[in-house]
Structure 1
Amino acid sequence: MRNTDITDDASFTPTLPRVERLRLHDTVVEHLRNFIVEGRLAPGVKLNERELCEMLGISRTPLREALKVLAAEGLIDISPNRGASVSRMSAAEIREMFELMSGLEAFSGELACERITPAELAQIKALHYEMLACHAQNDLPGYYSRNMQIHDRINEAARNSALRQTWLSINRRLQALRFRSNFSASKWDHAVHDHEEMIKALEARDGKRLATILRQHLLDKRDAVLLQDAQQQAVSGA
């Protein structure tokens, strides 16, 4: 019997183009998400498809597919008549979202202290030291990337799938605001201190302590963002 070559099968469909398309899709989504989180695409800004396509070196089809993903995450708004624009939350929405997230993070921390493994704790500590190095170098994007990985790992260590899905959904909406909360040097320094206390609580498996730190950590971010918005409105109205 001769060896069968998969190309002899008329029903065989190569998978490489599909994989390449998925990679392109994920890459475009990631780039646009980072643009929004880091403020390069500011809240309320109308997105110019032609300029974005030129910037990313892509056609309009993958761009529009990526915009649909970001719209589902609540990061952009798409209107049939006006196109796409970066979402802008009201002060009331900001307050409510951060209050909800503070509770989710606190619960994550409490459960994580009960369920985290030594290997997971070691990974979080490694990210913490990388984050401190970025802070020392005044590298906010690098700092934020490690920061969010730490919060993500704590949430994963809670091992509660319902909590996980809710946390992911809310966090997508808040990423840009969480990034902005570190624009003030004093606020950034205070956030670093919070993270040092988080590590101590995790090491001690002190769930109540970690929950308290995480809850206040998120409420402080809420206050920092609301203060920034109020100051911007005062300047624009002057």
Structure 2
Amino acid sequence: MEESRIRSAGLPETPNRIERHSLHDAILTRLRDMIIEGDLAPGTRINEGQVGAFLGVSRTPLREAIKFLASEGLIELIPSRGAVVKKFTAKEVRDMIDVIRTLEQHAGRTACATASDAGIAHVRALHDQMIGCYQRGDRLAYYKLNQAIHSAIVALADNAALADVHQLLQTRLKRIRFIGHEGPQKWAGAVAEHEEMIAALEARDPDRLAAIIGEHMDQAWNRVQDGLEG
């Protein structure tokens, strides 16, 4: 009976429900980018009507995306206020950077010892793409590849628990890490640190890579701390 109705409606017999998932992913990506770039600043209440109109979507998929971003820690759902972009204190940011440093140093040491040549080559390819974005001045694309490189190095350690915690904290620091590239000097410094990280990884030098990651995280904190409160 169901198949007969599908054929009579002129629809394919195999259901195609990709569009809804694609819409959900598209809204998530746009909202994340708006938070990362500061269009939705920390502490801002998200007006569903205005944001929905801006994105050209209804409130239902928008609310689903907001709930998902709340589960990631980018948005807070506050009684009587609604959805608010998460605003981290200086201490919270420093604490998360310290943990990320430890995770990435451990992952880097493990990767130097056990990663395949193909895995390291993948990180190099991401790095080269990132440099291209830097040379073009495409800051958002650069940032996303930058974060992908950190995740890729962690993935080389082949430790699911480590990767899960790293992804959680990295997601929460998206906006903070993005502002760490503001200004030519800060951006150039971050690029130089990444160049050294890739060289140490390719040389499979665990001590050097751990030291560079540590310095990179210290500089990440130095680049953002002046803009934080508390």
TM-score using structure 1 length: 0.87
Match of 1:7 among 3, 7, 13: 3
RMSD across aligned C-alpha pairs, in angstroms? 2.2
Contact kept, 8 Å, 2:130 with 2:146, in 1: the verdict is yes
Partner in structure 2 of residue 123 of structure 1: 122
In structure 1, the partner of 2:9 is none
Structure 2 counterpart of 1:191, one-letter code: A
Q: Deviations over 1:126-158 (max 9, x none)?
A: 221221222222221121122111111111111
8 Å CA contact 2:200–2:206 kept in 1: the answer is: yes
> Deviation of residue 6 (structure 1)?
8.5
Whole-Å separation in 1 of the counterparts to 2:38 and 2:207: 34
Is the 2:89–2:228 contact (alpha carbons within 8 Å) kept by the matching residues of 1?
no
Alignment size in residue pairs: 224
Deviates more, 1:152-161 or 1:135-144: 135-144
Distance 1:6 1:203, change over 3 A: farther
Letter in 2 for 1:182: H
The equivalent residue for 1:236 is: none
The residue number in structure 1 matching 2:19 is 20
- Report the equivalent of 1:47: 46
Question: What is the distance in 1 between the residues matched to 2:42 and 2:81?
Answer: 15
- Note the residue ranges of structure 2 that are not aligned, 5 or more in a row: 7-12
1:152 aligns with 2:148: no
Does the CA contact (< 8 Å) of 1:73 and 1:172 recur in 2? yes
How do 1:30-179 residues align onto structure 2 when only pairs under 5 Å count?
30-179=29-178
What residue identity is the alignment partner of 1:79? I
- 163-172 or 144-153: which moved more? 144-153
**Residues 154-194 of structure 1: CA distance to partner in whole angstroms, max 9, x if unpaired?**
11111001101111111110111111101132221111111
Pair 1:62–1:14, CA change in 2 (3 A): farther
Q: CA deviation at 1:8?
A: 6.0
Give the TM-score normalised by the residue count of structure 2.
0.90
Which residue does the alignment assign to 2:183?
184
Which secondary structure state, in structure 2, belongs to the residue aligned with residue 16 of structure 1? coil
Where does the alignment leave 5 or more consecutive residues of structure 1 unmatched? 234-238
Provide the rounded CA distance (Å) in 1 between the counterparts of 2:124 and 2:194.
10
Task: Give the conservation status (yes or no) of the 8 Å contact 1:102–1:216.
Answer: no
Distance, in Å, in 1 between the alignment partners of 2:213 and 2:195 is: 12
Residue type of the partner of 1:108?
A
Aligned to 2:225: 226
